[in-house]
Amino acid sequence: MRRLVGIMCIIVILMPYFFVPNFEVIGKTLGDLKAELAQKEQDLKNNQNEKNLTQEQIANIKQNISEISNTIENINEQIITLTNEIEELNKQIGEKNEEIKKIVNFLQIANGESAYLEYTFGAKDFTDFIYRAAVSEQLASYNDKLIDEYNGLINSKEETQKELSTEKINLTNKQKELGIEIEKLGNKITELESDAISIEDAIETQKNIIEMYTDIGCKDNEDINECGNKALPPDTVFWRPLNYGYISSNYGYRTYWINGGWTSDFHSGVDMAAAGGSPIYATANGTVAAINWQTKCGGNYVYIYHYVNGKYYTSLYMHMRDIYVNVNDVVTKNTVIGTVGGNPYVEYWDQCSTGEHLHFSIFNGRVGKDYYTWDADYYANRFDPRYAVNFPALEGSFYDRTTRY
């Protein structure tokens, strides 16, 4: 019994790989595809508007940071000026004290010492005595008042210094906060740009697919399952898309060295290294559904619909140097659809390739008809091409399209 349960569990786990669903969306029309495309074009417009607003926010924040920097610079200059003024006031206080002491030692006068008597009683007569006494008191009083004023100025300037230093700290912290905000907005723009690239490619793909159904005579209110199948030749088996190649990367999670460091990602197909310009064939009989040119990640690539053993599939060929087919072309396994590219010095726009190779992916159903390239279903319905096409093991080579490994 336990063995039976174990076998059943294994079957359940392996079912997604061996039992491929047959997508039939009853009632979907060409008009439905056009409506979905219009919505996605509006999404792209909204995306661009949001990106523009974010760029305006960044520009405003940068202006604020620039203004704060100017303010901090002015504060630094004011602090330096105040420091010099305080030093000058302290110097003047010292000089004033020395000057008054030379005329009359007000400390001795205040203490009733002999200097007061010598100066005061050195008068020639009583009038001179009164005059000298008054001068001594005035000089002492003036000196005290002047020093009080200087000390008041010093205290005021020191207080201003403290306020400016506090303001400088607050402005510096504000600069840091604005810098963090710019970084967040920059990341947001990167996400929006990434989304825009994906949306733009998806829109182009969907336009191609609508063009295909239109060219074969589908009407807006006609079920495309009925009109579309007329142009899809059946087949029974998939062949490798190259005459020869080297398996440089498998489907699934991988770790590899690039740009001086290790990185990991999920690889959605099988990579076959081959000389640039090598012919690429359709993996099975089918109809060219969409073509994308000079995308930033994938370069030139082609989608082909297939009807193999009663089930629908879509194959994808990426990093192509040349494309020899057009949308709605009927192809066979012997049709050369283009050539291998992926050379970053030749296909300079292709930022996701480091060498000449063909990236080959395969999907359940018809991309753009049963689901869209912007849907989660697009990723959910891709599967390891090895379940449909025979390939040698990783780092193995093949020299024809049909020999089994």
As a three-state string, the secondary structure of the chain is CHHHHHHHHHHHHHHHHHCCCCCCCCCCEHHHHHHHHHHHHHHHHHHHHHHHHHHHHHHHHHHHHHHHHHHHHHHHHHHHHHHHHHHHHHHHHHHHHHHHHHHCCHHHHHCCCHHHHHHHCCCCCHHHHHHHHHHHHHHHHHHHHHHHHHHHHHHHHHHHHHHHHHHHHHHHHHHHHHHHHHHHHHHHHHHHHHHHHHHHHHHHHHHHHHHHHHHCCCCCCCEHHHHHHHHCCEECCCCCCCCCEEEEECCEEEEEEECCEEEEEEECCEEEECCCCCEEECCCCEEEEEEEEEECCCEEEEEEEEEECCEEEEEEEEEEEEECCCCCCEECCCCEEEEEECCCCCCCCCCCCCCCEEEEEEEECCECCCECCCCHHHHHCEECHHHCCCCCCCCCEECCCCCCC
Split at pLDDT 50, 70, 90, the class of 40 is confident
Exposed, middle or buried, 101 (CB in 10 Å: 0-12/13-18/19+)? middle
Split at pLDDT 50, 70, 90, the class of 122 is low
pLDDT higher than 50, residue 113: no
pLDDT score of 405: 93
pLDDT higher than 90, residue 324: yes
pLDDT score of 363: 94
* More confidently predicted of 402 and 254: 402
pLDDT higher than 50, residue 114: no
pLDDT in tens, 247-303: 999 998 887 776 677 777 788 899 999 999 999 999 999 999 999 999 888 899 999
Q: Would you say the C-alpha torsion 216, 217, 221, 227 has a positive or negative sign?
A: negative
pLDDT higher than 80, residue 204: yes
Average pLDDT on 129-138 reads: 58
Split at pLDDT 50, 70, 90, the class of 191 is low
Task: For the chain, give the percent of residues with pLDDT over 90.
Answer: 31
pLDDT score of 103: 54
Please give the mean pLDDT across all residues of the chain: 77
The phi and psi torsions of 314 (rounded to 5 degrees) equal -130, 130
pLDDT score of 142: 65
Task: For the chain, give the percent of residues with pLDDT over 70.
Answer: 73
pLDDT score of 46: 78
pLDDT score of 63: 77
pLDDT score of 331: 96
The phi and psi torsions of 51 (rounded to 5 degrees) equal -65, -45
Exposure b/e, 184-223, CB count within 10 A at least 16 = b? ebeeebeebeebbebbbbbbbbbbbbbebbeebebeeeeb
pLDDT score of 117: 46
Look at 17-26, 76-85, 306-315 and tell me which has the smallest mean pLDDT. Answer: 17-26
pLDDT higher than 60, residue 26: no
pLDDT higher than 60, residue 118: no
pLDDT score of 107: 43
